[in-house]
Amino acid sequence: MPAQPSAHSFGNSLVYLALALAGLSTLLAFVWVFLISLKTTPEFLTTSPWSAPVDPSFDNYRSAWATARLGSYFGNSLIAATTGAGVSVLISAFAAYVLARVTFRLRETIARYLLVGYMVPLMLTFVPLFFMMSRMGLASGLLPLVLLYVASGIPFNTFIMRGFFESLPGELEEAAFMDGASPLRTFWQIMLPLAWPGLVSAFLLNFVSLWNEFFLALLFLKKADATLPLGLFYMSQRAEYSAQWTELFAGIILASIPALLIFALLQDHITRGITQGAVKG
């Protein structure tokens, strides 16, 4: 007799079906935005929003990049997200190594404190953050934004990197100690390169998160220093009065390209890095 499908396999099929439908809806929404971005403003206002463009044109992309200053916003986001993620991951690597490999009295207390910092919603800290940065003379500009990006990423990065350092064999440190290496040299030349997959995974996840960050940028940046999410907000306000919706849709496509490329090209690397860090040796 043929084997009867189990309830477990049926449940998996339902999960896969739900995921496929969610992925298809996301893909259709992306395609729709892309098709709208190829239309002219009169065509968008006079035809069905679901119709294909009659005469596709990339003029909206050129206009969004130059006229709407999306190129400048793109550069600001690249600087803020890259610097914030990179410095945060580097600082977190030092903290994670100590919490993972050094035994001391308050180790678990500090680890829990960092975890609580990761659990606190960032929006609850906006008012005290603004007053604190104002008293330090850092109420506006990319520098305070990058500093906040660095600080906000440390709890998550430390949590991820600690699992990586815990999974590394202790014999490596013992061999380095026997060869006369200092703790700093052992960390920098032996342990840190072995944790490279975790560093890359943490950096990419931080970069995507900071690339899409809006509220801190709104709080600390003026229009001239705006990042990409804030620039899209300004474009949406402009579209409310000038009906430049097709230009806004082109800006949305341009803003989504870096995140899409990262997940499309490095998805396996990110997943492998996180799962390796979750397994202790």
Nearest to 171 by CA among 262, 101, 118: 101
Tell me if 118 sits within 8 A of 160, measured CB to CB. Answer: no
The model carries a pTM of 0.85
C-alpha 190/C-alpha 185 separation (Å) is 8
Domain boundaries, the chain: 60-277
Which pLDDT band, with edges at 50, 70 and 90, does 274 fall under?
low
pLDDT of residue 270: 67
**Model confidence pLDDT, tens digit, residues 52-82:** 888 888 999 998 898 888 999 999 999 999 9
C-alpha 144/C-alpha 99 separation (Å) is 28
The widest CA-to-CA distance across the chain, in whole angstroms, is 78
pLDDT of residue 73: 93
Which pLDDT band, with edges at 50, 70 and 90, does 269 fall under?
low
C-alpha 275/C-alpha 279 separation (Å) is 7
**CATH assignment of 60-277, among 2.40.110.10, 1.10.3720.10, 1.10.1040.10, 1.10.260.40:** 1.10.3720.10
